[in-house]
Structure formats: structure tokens, C-alpha cells
Structure 1
Amino acid sequence: MSWNWQQPEWPHFTYDEQALVTPEKQFLLRSGEFIGAYRHISEDDRDMLRIELIGNEALKTSAIEGEILNRDSLQSSLRRQFGLGDDDRHIPAKERGIAEMMVTLYQTFAEPLDTAQLFEWHKMVMAGERHIEAIGGYRTHAEPMQIVSGSVGKSKVHFEAPPSSQVPGEMARFIDWFNDTSPGGKSPLPPLTRSGLVHIYFESIHPFEDGNGRIGRALSEKALAQGIGQPSLISLAHTIERSRKQYYDMLELNSRDFDVTRWLTFFADKTLEAQQITLARANFYIAKARFYDRAGDQLNERQAKVIARMFREGIDGFKGGLSAENYISITQTSRATATRDLHELVEMGALLRTGERRYTRYWLNIETGQKTHL
């Protein structure tokens, strides 16, 4: 059986619109919930949330491709680019490049797509690479662009993209389609549907030597942001990375099939899951503000230091909860003082206590809209 781009119907994918009606409604509803929550977050915490969400997406979209980046370097680069810090540490090329792409995506989501933007993204994603011939341009090599797994002699071709000679024409058509299906375009599509189609269409062309997955997911996020009229800050790569095998299986399945309903419903499910994570993180910052309104002026210096550290750990908190040993390590105080401080924090309702004796652990007493230890 031929690849999808070799078939007469290409690139007109088909799908069951009814299967996406409910997910599309849920997406818009949750987008509204996030926008509402975001407005209740202080300006400083918005900056922190934006860095956290964008940084996590950059880490996860790279991890999907098997590339592990340094979180601290990445976040330092993001703070620089948003004008939020003057950290002068050296930022490795890979962390700097993916951070630049994510910030550009955030700042220019509403602009129409064009070749120049794609080429700039590719330069950013490929920063520091030495094995790529065409950086900042479409692939030009004569050999087939294939996705292959397995050892030599036992390899399996999961997909073969159009030859390099066809890429400029295919991408010109893709860019026109992307802009025509935007909210202000000639043939607008619902945001979830459009975002899923963007990804399968772009990945089917596979226009670059490398970096297609990261750029394809960025395009999907651009489509989602255009659909709601503002940066989505959605944790899409986060949820895809957790279902990485299924993600690749679904892409392979639709590399030959023009009915992409199964792909679109899978993609919609991952997007809605991503929205829940994003909303939970926003609610965490709202809960933080309420916590300090309620208990901030009751904390002594040691307690304030530990509580601030617990909040810096983020929505997942200390792994396994805060222990007395953690408290002693952070404050450099005695065990007797730590025991007294922790007892006071529980009494005032700042912390919740679980377990007994050496298994005693402490958790921030905040309501985030989801059942989780923080």
C-alpha cells in the first residue's frame, strides 16, 4: 500500500466531524477556565507560571525525540528572553535554541505562517548541531527521508516522506492551507480539529532533515493559540511524552490512511488532558496567593523559608512529602526547634501531617481544584 502523500486524495484527509463535537466544546470551556484563572494570578506569579509552563514544554518536546536538556539552563534562557533576569551564566546552544523557538511561538502566535518563520524555527531547534547539512532550510538530499527502526538487515520502515524535490511545493500548499483554516481565514476549522490536522499533515511532508517533530508540535500549539486568540500555555508535549509509544503508533497508522478520525480523537484527548494540567498549575498559583493571605504573617523566618522552598518545588511538591530532616537541612536549625516549628505550622493550618514517627511527612494545606499532595 502506498504512503498517504502518494495517493490521489492527498492532502485532503477525511474524518468524522461528529466524533469531535464534544471535545471541541470541552476545549473552549477549559480555555475559558484557564483565562479566568490566569487573571486572578499576580503579575510576578504569572511570570513564574509562564516560565514554568513554557520551560516544561521545551523539555518535553525535546524528550520525545530522545534529547534530554538541562532544566536550569533552559529556564535561565527563558527568563533572559522575557526580560526577567540578567543571569550571566553560559547557556548551552540546545537549551538556548529551543527556548528561543518557544518564546517566538508565544509572542507571534497570531501572525500568519510563512516560510521565513519555519526556517527561523529550524535554525533555533538545530542550534549546536553538527550533523545536519541544511539548517534553516528544507532538506535537499537525494536519498529517501525514512523513519526506520531495527538493526541492519532487520530494519522496518515506518514511514517514507515525499522526495526532497517535492518539499518546496508541498510546503507552499501546506502554508496556504494553514493560513486559510485559521479563525480569520477563508475556510476556518475548529481549533482542536485544525491543530490535529496540522500535525499529521506537516509530519507527512517531513520537510526538514531533523527537528520535524518539535516544529510540528509547535505548529499544533500555534493553531490552538490562534483558536482561542491568545497563547494557550498548554502542556501538550507533556501529555504526548507520557504516551510516546501510542503517539508514534498513531502517526504511523495514519501515514497510509486518509481517514484520520482515530488520530484526531487521540490528539484531542491528549490536548484536553494537557489543558487540565495547565489549569491545575494556574490554580496552584492562586492557592499560593490565598495561602499567604491566610497564614503569611504568622510565619517566623525559618518557617517562611521552608514554605517558600515548598512552593518552589511546584505542584508536585517534595517527593514523598516534607520530612523533619528536610526542615533541618533547609533551616540549619536543631531537631527540637524543627519539631516545634512543624507543630506550629500544623496547628495554624499551614501544613497537613501524615504518618507517624520516622514516617511523618508534611504537605502544604492548599486547595488546587484537584486531589494531589503538594
Structure 2
Amino acid sequence: MAFNKNEPFNKLPDLPPIDFQESQDIFRHLAKASRYLGELNGLCASLPDPQLLINTIVLQESKDSSAIENIVTTQDELYKAAAEEGTASHAAKEVLIYREALYIGLKKMQAQKNLLLTNTMIEIVQTIKQNNSGIRNVPGTALKNAINGEIIYSPPCCEDVLREKLTSLERFINDPEASPLDPLIKMAFIHYQFEAIHPFADGNGRTGRIINALYLVQQQLLTQPVLYLSSYIVKYKTEYYRSLRGVTEENNWHDWVMYMLTAIIETAQLSTKKIRNTLSLKEDIEKNMKQALGSSFNYDLLQLMFALPYLKIELLENKDIAHRQTASTWLKKLVEADILKPQKMGRTTYFVNYRLMDILSTN
């Protein structure tokens, strides 16, 4: 693989790598990753209302994927923004836009006979950037060390080359005959290749991580895009970039595949734990709510508490769950029962499902 970091890598080889060898440690990690991912998928498939928890889990993935790009928001900011607070921070809005981009990508893929195509990738990045971004067509793109400005990598250039490489990547993603390797290993290849192609002027990292989630759904390894993969990358960010560079500079596919399989193992376990703990909490809170509210218990309110852990009176009104006075009465009773905790911010009082926030904040 001829590579010069100061020149566009137009000779980036197509997938699959011709000299990749599956080692015993890769086989062992692959077996574990498949098992834990299967457990997570089975749990999601058994949920009576999967969208309830999926929205919450995906928002966590959005938060961590954005953090990799130094778009950092707190849990409080994020869930206040999700509760339709108009004064949300810029970072919180960016995270919510990321979640929107993921769902747009999923809908687009499903509408295109489950094919993950270049136009889907473009629509994802346009949503992330909130503009009409397209394939890069200006030379001179280079990834640099943020501290000393040294060029680390020069991706391929320009639009005709990038489209050719994306077309080849499309074939590898969508054609089951392109490689006999396990889809989880192929996902590691796909993620590297997309990042190496670097087809957009900005937003490549977040788009690439959305492609991971969509590919797992496409391959029917997950029914919903709930793998909390970015949490692992945030924790091991230096190793992530080092492993990517190891493929480019040394053709070291082994360490990169091991990194990604380990990420799947840990994040599948984490997502499963969060979902199980959330289901258990929901069951407990339902019992306590019935005692606190008596005959006025409202199941839609229970659902909303888990979809949006930061509630406010206006939100219950806007969702047509209760009129203002009734909403105020219910929320006060839930505070008295220690089900919610009030948190005053300016003129607004939020009612926080604090135990759910504890679950979501645990890594």
C-alpha cells in the first residue's frame, strides 16, 4: 500500500483487503461480539414499545459521537433540549441533529430496498451540517495534528476519484458476495474505508459512525440502531486514531479489527445493561405512580417520563396528556412520592426522572 501522508491517497485500495488473515484472537473476539450483540438484539425485539427506550439510547450514542468531534454537552443540557427548550445550547442542538440524521439515514436505507448508498451518506451529512454539503471537489484537504499542525493524512482527491471509491464501497456494503467474512469484521473494514475516503469537507466522523449503526440493521444483527458504540471510542479515542493510522501506514488490519470487535463487545454489554435497568426502573415507577396518583394514574405520562427524563408542565400540555392545572398537580404528587425531583432553571421548573438519569450516566 503506497502511502505518503503529504499527498492525496488516491491509491487507497478497494475492499476487501487482499492480505487480511483471521487469527485465533480475532475468532475469539468475534464469537463474543456476536453473542453479546445477539443478546442485545433479542432484548430489543422483546420490548413492548421499543421506540420508547430506543430514542433514549440513541440520544446517548448521539451525545458520545458528537463528543468525539469535541461537541460536548452535559446530560442536563441534552435532555432539557429534548424537552423542547428553546434556549438549548449549541452543542445540545448538534446532538439532537445527529439523532435526526441517524433516523433519516435509517428511513432512507429502508426505502431503498435496504441498500446503503452514497446518496444516503450525503443526506446524512447534509442533516448533520444543516446545509447542502456534497462530495468534496476542492483539492488540498489534509488532516492535521491539532497541536502542532503537522499533516497526519491526506485523503483522496477529488470528486471523480471520491465517487469512484464510494461506488466500490457501496458494492462491498451491499453485495453479500463481495466477501465471505463475518459482517462484524466487514463493519470494521467499512468504517476504516469510509474514514480513509473522507468524502466530505466536514462531518465525516459522525457520518461514519451512523453508517456503523445502519450496517448492523441492514445485516439484521440489530432490529434498531441501539449499539452504544461511540461510548467506547470516547474512552479509547487515542487508540481509535492510532489503529486507523496503523491500517493506513502499516497495513495493520489485525489491531483495527480487534479494536472494533472489542468496542462491540463492551458497548453491546453496556447497552443491554442500560435497557434492563431501565425496564426494571419503569416497572418500579409504574407501581409507585399508581399509589401516588390513584385513579388519575396516566400511562402516557409514565411513557413520557422515560422518553424525556426532563419534564415540565408545558410539555404535558403540548403532548395533550393533561391541562395545565392537572399536569401541575400530577407532577407535584410525583415529587412528594420521590419519583421525580424538581429542578428550577430560570423561570422554568423541570421535573427530573433522576433515577433514569443515573442509569443513562453510568458507563
Paired residue secondary structure (1:255): helix
1:298 is displaced (CA, Å) by 5.5
Cα contact 1:50–1:233 (8 A) shared by 2: yes
Tell me the residue number matched to 1:223: 215
Q: Are residue 193 (structure 1) and residue 193 (structure 2) matched?
A: no
Q: How many residues align?
A: 301
Instruction: Kindly indicate whether structure 1 or structure 2 has the higher relative contact order, using CA contacts under 8 Å at least 6 residues apart.
Output: 2
In structure 1, C-alpha distance between the alignment counterparts of 2:162 and 2:252, rounded to whole Å: 23
What does 1:314-325 correspond to in 2, within 5 Å? none
Percent identity over paired residues: 16
Paired residue secondary structure (1:68): coil
1:108 is displaced (CA, Å) by 4.7
1:187 is displaced (CA, Å) by 3.4
Deviations 1:254-301 (Å, cap 9, x if unpaired)?
222223110010111011111011101110133124435776655688
Paired residue secondary structure (1:17): coil
Q: 1:169 to 1:230 in 2, by over 3 A?
A: same
- Range with greater deviation from structure 2 (93-102 or 156-165): 93-102
In structure 2, C-alpha distance between the alignment counterparts of 1:264 and 1:56, rounded to whole Å: 24
What does 1:11-30 correspond to in 2, within 5 Å? 11-13=15-17, 14-18=19-23, 19-30=25-36
Cα contact 1:195–1:223 (8 A) shared by 2: yes
1:25 is displaced (CA, Å) by 2.2
Letter in 1 for 2:35: L
Letter in 1 for 2:39: E
In structure 2, C-alpha distance between the alignment counterparts of 1:373 and 1:127, rounded to whole Å: 31
1:140 is displaced (CA, Å) by 0.8
Q: 1:285 to 1:17 in 2, by over 3 A?
A: same
Cα contact 2:143–2:151 (8 A) shared by 1: yes
Paired residue secondary structure (2:58): helix
In structure 2, C-alpha distance between the alignment counterparts of 1:295 and 1:55, rounded to whole Å: 27
Letter in 2 for 1:155: G
Paired residue secondary structure (2:138): coil
Q: Are residue 121 (structure 1) and residue 124 (structure 2) matched?
A: yes
1:230 is displaced (CA, Å) by 2.0
In structure 1, C-alpha distance between the alignment counterparts of 2:63 and 2:306, rounded to whole Å: 18
1:98 is displaced (CA, Å) by 1.9
1:109 is displaced (CA, Å) by 5.1
1:55 is displaced (CA, Å) by 0.9
1:95 is displaced (CA, Å) by 4.7
Tell me the residue number matched to 2:102: 102
Tell me the residue number matched to 1:58: 62
Cα contact 1:49–1:281 (8 A) shared by 2: no
What does 1:349-368 correspond to in 2, within 5 Å? none
Deviations 1:342-374 (Å, cap 9, x if unpaired)?
9xx9xxxxxxxxxxxxxxxxx97xxx9xxx999
Tell me the residue number matched to 1:234: 227
Letter in 2 for 1:34: L
In structure 1, C-alpha distance between the alignment counterparts of 2:226 and 2:333, rounded to whole Å: 38
Point out the structure with max Rg over C-alpha. 1
Tell me the residue number matched to 2:139: 142
Cα RMSD (Å) of the superposition? Answer: 3.9
In structure 2, C-alpha distance between the alignment counterparts of 1:21 and 1:51, rounded to whole Å: 33
Paired residue secondary structure (2:249): coil
Deviations 1:105-146 (Å, cap 9, x if unpaired)?
344555212222121112101116xxxxxx431101122x21
Cα contact 1:31–1:275 (8 A) shared by 2: yes
Letter in 2 for 1:234: L
Tell me the residue number matched to 1:288: 281
Q: 1:150 to 1:285 in 2, by over 3 A?
A: closer
Q: Are residue 71 (structure 1) and residue 71 (structure 2) matched?
A: no
Cα contact 1:194–1:223 (8 A) shared by 2: no
In structure 1, C-alpha distance between the alignment counterparts of 2:29 and 2:180, rounded to whole Å: 17
Letter in 2 for 1:99: R
Cα contact 1:196–1:267 (8 A) shared by 2: yes
Cα contact 2:145–2:151 (8 A) shared by 1: yes
Tell me the residue number matched to 1:277: 270
In structure 2, C-alpha distance between the alignment counterparts of 1:66 and 1:314, rounded to whole Å: 24
Cα contact 1:100–1:124 (8 A) shared by 2: yes
1:16 is displaced (CA, Å) by 2.9
Deviations 1:195-235 (Å, cap 9, x if unpaired)?
11111111111111111111111112222222315224100
